[in-house]
Structure 1
Amino acid sequence: MPGALTRLYCIFGNPVRHSLSPRMHNAAFSALGMDAVYLAFEPSSIKDALAAMRALPIHGASVTIPYKTPVLPLLDSVDELAARIGSVNTVVNRNGSLHGANTDGRGALTALERAGFSARDKSVLVVGNGGSARAVAFTLLAAGARVLVAGRNESRIAALSAELAASYPGVAHRTLNSLDRALMKDIDAIVNTTPVGMGSDTHDTPIDASLLASAHLVMDIVYAPPMTRLLREARDAGCTIVQGTDMLLYQGVLQFELWTGMSAPVEIMRATIIDAMPHAVPE
């Protein structure tokens, strides 16, 4: 039973009432016998939410839509990767000083590494131009990968490519309809960061199946459904596949370890996510 000494953790966003994060983190606390609880809040003001975080105190917070970018200038410090990405999904309360980090990209990278992929000197096609694309691309580049970004909107994909290239020269971009087999022969991994294939959009895919080859590792960050059309067609082509639930898991594992300084019970957290999947609504 939570009491006055119970350590508080939470997620700030709107909406978050269907988030899987409370189940995942509370299962981790329980597995380690910690007197801690993780709650979901839908604040109308992220500034007020951070004031409450300092006052209560709340020891750690996840941050999701629509606050990942607005929260950044309100924090006392932000790690270098989060600053480059331009968004924060994790806040650590260090005795009233709030530190921001971004575990989205590192969660994706960890999921890829657990599938046997080493980013250094590999060529990765990152599909998308939103916040997740930025996080994944910056993290892969920092890990030594070569990145090609692709999307449907030429101007947006060009803008993202230029932003990435300012820190990591050599980043290229293509529109999705210009991808061909010759180009794809040089690609080692494909990461879809778009919502294509999510929810009621299950019959669509961002990459034509004819472009997939057995040499590709294919990851889709969409986790509802866990097996998207892209992943089904990649599996049928003989590719190694990585599901979005793995990124969800590892970004949460990294958050837990930043907050607590303890090793996360990864398999407990994984089982909790899998058990909750029929009830999941994408965040």
Structure 2
Amino acid sequence: MNAATKPPIGRDTTLCMSLAARPGNFGSRFHNRLYDRLGLDYVYKAFTTDDLEGAVRGLRALGVRGCAISMPFKEAVIPLLDGLAGSAAAIDSVNTIVNDDGRLTGYNTDYSAVRDLLDRARVDTALPFTLRGSGGMAKAVAAALRDRGHRTGTIVARNEGAGRALAASYGFSWRAEVGDGAALLVNATPIGMSGGDEQALAFPHAAIKACRVAFEVVALPAETPFLRDARAAGKTTIAGADVAVLQALEQFILYTGARPGDDDVAHAAAFARGEID
């Protein structure tokens, strides 16, 4: 299908949205381009808020079909929902809300995206890892690593309470600083993210040089200092931009019930990254 088959926005158009402290354009561009290509009467808009409870009430009151949830709301939103799907309940973190006639259910599509990318890269489960972060995204990564069979890992988090709790939940260790790193490095913090300190390295140069696999969860910019350093050192890399595509695709399917073809997904991803018009 092409854009001409999509109905004009009107009173029957279905609204989907996102909530984040730092809204970006990727989700809006990805979802809206797929709506265009599949001829769906939907529209997607990114928002931020200082009133999470009020925003969630708005989802219910206005019949918003779906809402992506990003930092720092992935855990705080849980008490405001009517229920959790298995993925979200298992890791106590939500990145997706689906509204079924006023009933709001939380999902976590980060988990499946992370696990799928680790599988595609054939990352050896015997590799010890260092995971930096203790928030909602770090929970999804820790769960995916544990469920793939990774047994030796360290959670690095300056917040001792959150770091120790996350490590204990999945049978890993905790420390406050990166130290020597590990064979598999994963950044699940905002370090290097657009809108923050984009020049900061999530891991020291020495740790990156010594690792075998570098997994960057930050999606914007597509090339963070951590990824640049790892690629320059010839390491296997997994990019946050790929996490963003896979988790957004699963959200799209949850919201619309439509499953786009591979060509449509690739086109929408390239458009969302600004690679095509």
TM score, norm. by length of structure 1: 0.80
Aligned-pair distance for 1:65? 3.7
Aligned-pair distance for 1:72? 0.7
1:6 aligns with 2:13: yes
Among 23, 30, 42, the residue aligned to 1:24: 30
* Residue of structure 2 equivalent to 1:190: 185
* Whole-angstrom CA distance in 2 between matches of 1:44 and 1:192: 26
Q: Give the 3 Å change call, closer, same or farther, for CA 43–175 of structure 1 in structure 2.
A: closer
* Whole-angstrom CA distance in 2 between matches of 1:44 and 1:129: 22
Aligned-pair distance for 1:213? 5.5
Q: What letter corresponds to residue 165 of structure 1 in structure 2?
A: A
The number of equivalent residue pairs is 265
* Residue of structure 2 equivalent to 1:87: 93
Structure with greater contact order relative to length (CA < 8 Å, sep ≥ 6): 1
1:137 aligns with 2:132: no
* Residue of structure 1 equivalent to 2:254: 258
TM score, norm. by length of structure 2: 0.82
Aligned-pair distance for 1:215? 6.9
Q: What letter corresponds to residue 196 of structure 1 in structure 2?
A: I
Map 1:66-145 to 2 at 5 A.
66-114=72-120, 116-118=121-123, 120=125, 122-145=127-150
Q: What letter corresponds to residue 92 of structure 2 in structure 1?
A: G
* Whole-angstrom CA distance in 2 between matches of 1:269 and 1:159: 36
Among 163, 166, 180, the residue aligned to 1:163: 166
Map 1:240-259 to 2 at 5 A.
240-259=236-255
Greater alpha carbon shift after TM alignment, 244-253 vs 64-73: 64-73
| Structure 1 unmatched runs, 5+ | 278-283
Q: Deviations over 1:233-264 (max 9, x none)?
A: 21222211122211121221121122223224
Q: Deviations over 1:96-147 (max 9, x none)?
A: 2211012223323333333x22575554321223332222112321333235
Q: Deviations over 1:164-218 (max 9, x none)?
A: 433x33x1234435326xxx3xx3x221112223346344323233334587121
Q: Give the 3 Å change call, closer, same or farther, for CA 35–47 of structure 1 in structure 2.
A: same
* Whole-angstrom CA distance in 2 between matches of 1:226 and 1:162: 30
Aligned-pair distance for 1:36? 1.0
Q: Give the 3 Å change call, closer, same or farther, for CA 261–145 of structure 1 in structure 2.
A: farther
Aligned-pair distance for 1:87? 2.6
1:63 touches 1:88 (CA, 8 Å); kept in 2? yes
Q: What letter corresponds to residue 166 of structure 2 in structure 1?
A: E
Greater alpha carbon shift after TM alignment, 120-129 vs 24-33: 120-129
Q: Give the 3 Å change call, closer, same or farther, for CA 157–249 of structure 1 in structure 2.
A: farther
* Residue of structure 1 equivalent to 2:177: 176
Q: Secondary structure at the match of 1:30?
A: helix
Aligned-pair distance for 1:30? 0.9
1:79 touches 1:100 (CA, 8 Å); kept in 2? yes
Q: What letter corresponds to residue 231 of structure 1 in structure 2?
A: L
* Residue of structure 2 equivalent to 1:280: none
Q: What letter corresponds to residue 242 of structure 2 in structure 1?
A: D
**Identical-residue share of aligned pairs (%):** 32
* Whole-angstrom CA distance in 2 between matches of 1:81 and 1:239: 30
Q: What letter corresponds to residue 132 of structure 2 in structure 1?
A: V
1:103 touches 1:254 (CA, 8 Å); kept in 2? yes
Map 1:45-56 to 2 at 5 A.
45-56=51-62
Q: Deviations over 1:36-55 (max 9, x none)?
A: 11123345533333333233
2:97 touches 2:106 (CA, 8 Å); kept in 1? yes
Q: What letter corresponds to residue 266 of structure 1 in structure 2?
A: V
Aligned-pair distance for 1:29? 1.0
